Amino acid sequence: MNGAFEIGAVSLKSHQQALEAIANNVSNINTPGFKREDIRFAEVMAVQPEPLTETQRRAAEATSQAGGVRMVSRSMYSEAGELRPSSSLMDIAIDGKGFIELIAPRGETFLWRGGRLSVNRDGYLTADGGFPLRSLIMVPDDATALQIEPDGVVIALSEASERIELGQIMLVRPESDADILRASGGMLKTAEGARLIETTPSEDGNGLIAQGMIEGSNVDMTGSMVEMLILQRAYAASAQVIQAADQLSSIANNLQR
C-alpha cells in the first residue's frame, strides 16, 4: 500500500487536533485565569537506524517509509494573563508564577490561580468550587471584611474596626509545568508523585497576591486567528496528498482493462 495515504491521514488528524486546541483557546478568551494551550509539531521519522548490511539498506530503500508529523499540545501555565480590577474585594489574583494549593477530595491536590474567595460552613476560606485553601484560614463569624496583604497575610476587620491577623496564604509551584494536569471542572491538579515547592508570596518568583483583581486569560486573539488560517491551509494540502495517493491507486487498478 502507498505510504502517502497513511502520512496524509496522520497529518489530517494532527492538524485537526491542533485546530481543536485553538478553538478551545479562542472560546476561553474571556475565562478568568484560563491558560492557553500551545501547539507543537514534531517530525516523526520512519528512517531505519543505520541499516547494517547492503541487503538491509536496499530493502529499506525498496519499501515505502511512512512517518509524518505529531502534534503535541502544552498548556502555558507559567505565562500570566493580564490582571484586571474587579468589583469584589473577595477576588484575588497572583501576580507571578505561583499557585494557591487547595485541598481536594480523595487526597488530591488542586492548584488555583486565584478567583472568588468565599467562607464555607465551617468558617474556612474556600476557592470557587468549595475547595478549602491548604493554608486553612479560619474566618471568625463577626468579621465584616477581609484584607489580604500582597504577602498573603489575611486580616479580618471586625465591626469594632479591630484588626485580627488570621494567617498567611502560601504559594506553591511544581518543579515542572509537566506536573500540572487538568482536572474535571476546569481545575488544575498535580500529577501523582509531583513535588511542590512551597514559599511565602514574593519568594522565588512566585509573585504577590493581589486583592480585588482578576487574572484574564492568556489567549492572544490575533495570534490564534493567524494560526488557525495556517492550519487550515496545511489541512487542505494534506487532503490533496491523499487525493493524489488515491488517483495513483486508481491508475494501478485500471492497468488491466
Q: From the list 16, 24, 31, 48, which residue makes contact with other proteins (rule: CB under 8 A)?
A: 48
C-alpha neighbours within 13 Å on the C-beta side of residue 76 = 16
Asked whether 219 and 34 are in contact (CB, 8 A), the reply is yes
The region of 126-134, 148-156, 170-178, 208-216 touching other proteins under the rule CB under 8 A is 170-178
7 lies in the binding site for other proteins (CB under 8 A): yes
67 lies in the binding site for other proteins (CB under 8 A): yes
* 193-to-141, 174, 183 alpha-carbon distances in Å: 38, 11, 16
d(C-alpha 82, C-alpha 197), whole Å: 24
C-alpha neighbours within 13 Å on the C-beta side of residue 151 = 5
Residues 6+ apart with CB under 8 A from 227: 22, 39
Q: What is the dihedral of CA 206, 207, 209, 210, to 10 degrees?
A: -150
255 lies in the binding site for other proteins (CB under 8 A): yes
38 lies in the binding site for other proteins (CB under 8 A): yes
Q: How far is the CB of 243 from other proteins (least distance, A)?
A: 9
The region of 110-118, 126-134, 181-189, 231-239 touching other proteins under the rule CB under 8 A is 231-239
What does the buried/exposed string (b/e) look like for 81-117 if buried means 16 or more CB atoms within 10 Å of the residue's CB? beeeebeeebbbbbbbbbbbbbbbeeeebbbbbbbeb
177 lies in the binding site for other proteins (CB under 8 A): yes
Asked whether 175 and 187 are in contact (CB, 8 A), the reply is no
- In terms of CB distance, is 51 or 216 closer to other proteins? 51
Torsional sign, CA 221, 184, 74, 68: negative
Q: From the list 23, 42, 59, 164, which residue makes contact with other proteins (rule: CB under 8 A)?
A: 42
173 lies in the binding site for other proteins (CB under 8 A): yes
Torsional sign, CA 235, 237, 241, 244: positive
Q: From the list 70, 84, 182, 195, which residue makes contact with other proteins (rule: CB under 8 A)?
A: 70
47 lies in the binding site for other proteins (CB under 8 A): yes
22 lies in the binding site for other proteins (CB under 8 A): no
Q: How far is the CB of 53 from other proteins (least distance, A)?
A: 16
Q: How far is the CB of 16 from other proteins (least distance, A)?
A: 13
Number of residues binding to other proteins, judged by CB under 8 A:
54
Q: Which residues bind other proteins (CB under 8 A)?
A: 2-4, 7-8, 10-11, 14-15, 38, 40-45, 47-50, 61, 64-65, 67-70, 72, 74, 173, 175-178, 197, 204-205, 230-231, 233-234, 237-238, 240-241, 244-245, 247-248, 251-252, 254-255, 257
